[in-house]
Structure 1
Amino acid sequence: MKTIALGVFGFFIMVSCSQKPTQSMNQSSVKTYPVQKMAAKDVELHTVFPTVLQGEIDIEIKPRIDGFIEAVYVDEGSIVKKGQVLFEINSPVSEQNLETAEANYNTARLDVERMRPLADKGIISNVLLQTYENAFSSAEAAYESAKATLSWTKVKSPVDGIVGTLPFRLGSLVNSSSVLTSVANTQHVVAYFSMNEKELLQYMRSWEGDTQAEKIKNMPSVKLMLADGSEYEHEGRIETISGVVDVNTGSVNFRAVFDNPNGLLRSGTSGQVIIPRTMKDVFLIPQKSTFSQQNKVLVFKYEDGKAKQKVISVKSTPNGQYYAVLDGLKGGDQIITDGVSTLKDGMEIQIQ
């Protein structure tokens, strides 16, 4: 009997000794992760919209008569003044029309000069004289019109600006549909861009004012990112918002204007308009604390000693390192900020 008792006692000692290392091993296998507790703050976010820049005045130059280019007085990129001659057109048809109109004018004038004395003497009636005078008036108007038409052989710039490309050269046959070049006034540059209905509503609610005009007036200045990724030194202003939503794209068009005193911006170049927006009482989290799954952004929350997945709605901050959380978290929540790639939903963890 004593032998059995000792055996049982020894068995419990062996079991007890074998369990202690296992418990210790389980505790040491639980990894530790850093966490961040959610606390709301005000954050300035930037929304970026692609754009193509245009001169505030950007005009296509077309001839008003048919003919051959006889002279080109400017080169691409030339700075021109309003009224400056850009091209000269050789128009044989216009010259012929002028010669014909001049001849008809002279004939009608001589007829009136010859018939007026006869009417004064009563040899012909005043009605017949009036017919000649009417013919003279018509011939005179046709002559003046032909002279004006021939003046169109000199193609002039309608505005101050910079000359665009020159697709036609000396000797080219052109007509009223031919675009000889363009002249852009780029003292101020216009940037057109669009945003969808959801973004528009968010912005309209955040801008002060009762009417659209008041909201436009109270909008913050916008910035322009150039094609090389640099930020343009002058800020711009939004001037107009279209009153109609495009039914095909569901977007609304905006127009922003930027000063261009040094001529750095050119018509036709691309860029990105940046609109700032201050969001109040949002949570700011590092982007590295998130991961993507089926086009959704998720984080791991720390709850009851475990990591639990949570879908969130976010907006990137200007520096690209943080997200502003728009939905999915509440004050006091703790999220794991590093090492999320090693986590699984429901995994037991420890926190720092």
Structure 2
Amino acid sequence: MKKTCTHLLLFCITSLCLLWSCNGDSEEEEKETQTFPVVEATRRSITNYQTFPARIEGTENVEIRPKITGFIETIYVDEGQQVEKGERLFKLEARALRGELEAAASGIEVAEANVADANVEVQKLIPLVEEGIISEVQLTSARAQLNAAESQLAQAEGNYNSVRENIRYQFVETSVDGIVGSIPYRQGTLVGAETETPLTVVSAIDSVYVYFSMNEKEYFSFLRDTEGNSLADKITNFPEVLLTLADGSEYGQKGRIQTTTGQIDPETGTISFRAIFPNRERLLNSGNSGTIKIPHQLQDVLLVPSQSTFEEQARTYVFKLAEGDTVKKTMIEVETAVEDLLVVQEGLEEQDRIVAKGVNQVQNNTRIEPRPVPFDSVAGSIEQVFRQ
């Protein structure tokens, strides 16, 4: 009886072990055959963009300064207002100048009277000299007095015109069409030609300049990739550039690079460029910031989605499908990143299959059930990066 019980116990233990082993094999088999989306490494031509911080200025930034000293009496415009050439912006108080004008007018009257008196004296002496009653010296002296009186009259007239011109300068006008900038002064402020800060700045913005800089390495690389024998030729052949605004949106017009200093700023170690953009809708203003995007064509390059890769110890890997749909951890050499794509230099060939998504759930050297998906569905919106 005891022997029978022992045999029965051994049978139960063996059965449980076999059952557990089968369940484990089933779970392992299920784990090994998990389904993952896969894509093929694809070769295409693509546009990459170099980006550089930029500042925006009007093509003309005219400082508005008074030509006379006076208190601001009237401000005709507001900040950000569109103005036209010759339009009045400020009026300065000119009561003192009107007093000077009246005094200058009186000076003219006195000078005119002196001229008249001196002329009468000359005319009176001429016949007396001719008849020999008086000497020629007296006539010469009278004529000298007449000349002096005429000079005083001219000086009085010049003084009058100067004061009258200064009165006209009480109205401060703009010399260009554009947008009024910041106005740091208010009514009652005393200003003059020597005031350090201008009354305002009017910026012509039908077109705008966009300034950006490259470091020395970027500069020479950019020149090397651009056709032309001279710097002037290369500037002519520079590609059209794009502008990203501060809110991340793309400006609707393309610009072109006009010039570069070609000299390294010793303080920043960079070389400055200037591009020009049309601004007919006057969306851009002086002082705005943005990002310049310079396109660079990459011809027939091998691409993989960035989300299909992972990094370990500063190296980039993918899970490549080998024989029997077994995934192999494969290191790749990346040339550059473009949006959500990576340009592969080494490690893959065209049409190699890789795990598209969920690489953090995949174990190396395990078999999966591949589910092919379109490359574009993993790469995201390719309309912005693939050249048409």
User: Which category describes the TM-score, using the shorter chain as reference length?
Assistant: 0.7 to 0.9
Deviation at 1:278, TM superposition (A): 0.8
1:166 aligns with 2:169: no
Q: Percent identity?
A: 34
Q: Secondary structure at the match of 2:211?
A: strand
Whether contact under 8 Å (1:67, 1:92) holds in the other structure is: no
1:267 to 283, 286, 292: 286
Residues 196-211 of structure 1: matches in 2 within 5 Å? 196-211=215-230
1:153 aligns with 2:156: no
Change (3 A) 1:172 1:292: farther
TM-score, normalised by the number of residues in structure 2: 0.68
**One-letter amino acid of the counterpart of residue 112, structure 2:** R
Change (3 A) 1:80 1:250: same
Change (3 A) 1:312 1:297: farther
- Partner Cα distance (1:109, 1:54) in 2: 54
* Greater alpha carbon shift after TM alignment, 189-198 vs 265-274: 265-274
Residues 302-317 of structure 1: matches in 2 within 5 Å? 307=329, 312-314=334-336, 316-317=337-338
Change (3 A) 1:239 1:330: farther
Deviation at 1:224, TM superposition (A): 1.7
Whether contact under 8 Å (2:118, 2:142) holds in the other structure is: no
2:57 to 47, 54, 57: 54
Whether contact under 8 Å (1:53, 1:268) holds in the other structure is: yes
- Partner Cα distance (2:355, 2:268) in 1: 38
**Gap runs ≥5 in structure 1:** 1-20
- Partner Cα distance (1:213, 1:31) in 2: 62
Aligned to 2:148: 131
Aligned to 1:238: 257
2:342 to 323, 326, 349: 323
Whether contact under 8 Å (1:290, 1:297) holds in the other structure is: no
Deviation at 1:230, TM superposition (A): 1.9
Deviation at 1:63, TM superposition (A): 1.6
Whether contact under 8 Å (1:236, 1:259) holds in the other structure is: yes
Change (3 A) 1:308 1:233: closer
Q: Secondary structure at the match of 2:346?
A: coil
Deviation at 1:83, TM superposition (A): 0.6
Aligned to 1:191: 210
Aligned to 1:10: none
Deviation at 1:259, TM superposition (A): 1.5
- Partner Cα distance (2:353, 2:218) in 1: 28
Aligned to 1:181: 200
Deviation at 1:46, TM superposition (A): 1.0
- Partner Cα distance (1:41, 1:324) in 2: 10
**One-letter amino acid of the counterpart of residue 147, structure 1:** R
Deviation at 1:96, TM superposition (A): 4.5
Deviation at 1:82, TM superposition (A): 0.8
TM-score, normalised by the number of residues in structure 1: 0.74
Residues 17-28 of structure 1: matches in 2 within 5 Å? none
Q: Deviations over 1:260-297 (max 9, x none)?
A: 22222233222222111113354433323555678x56
Deviation at 1:306, TM superposition (A): 7.2
Aligned to 1:219: 238
Whether contact under 8 Å (2:118, 2:143) holds in the other structure is: no
Aligned to 2:73: 70
Structure with more of its chain in helix, by fraction? 2
- Partner Cα distance (2:315, 2:300) in 1: 20
Whether contact under 8 Å (1:71, 1:170) holds in the other structure is: yes
- Partner Cα distance (1:51, 1:217) in 2: 21
Q: Secondary structure at the match of 2:78?
A: coil
- Partner Cα distance (2:53, 2:74) in 1: 40
Whether contact under 8 Å (1:43, 1:279) holds in the other structure is: yes
**One-letter amino acid of the counterpart of residue 164, structure 1:** G
**Gap runs ≥5 in structure 2:** 1-20, 126-138, 371-388
- Partner Cα distance (1:216, 1:253) in 2: 13
Q: Secondary structure at the match of 1:124?
A: helix
2:266 to 247, 259, 267: 247
2:117 to 103, 114, 120: 114
Q: Return the index of the structure with the highest Cα Rg.
A: 2
- Partner Cα distance (1:350, 1:241) in 2: 57
Whether contact under 8 Å (2:53, 2:291) holds in the other structure is: yes
- Partner Cα distance (1:234, 1:36) in 2: 36
The total of aligned residue pairs comes to 321
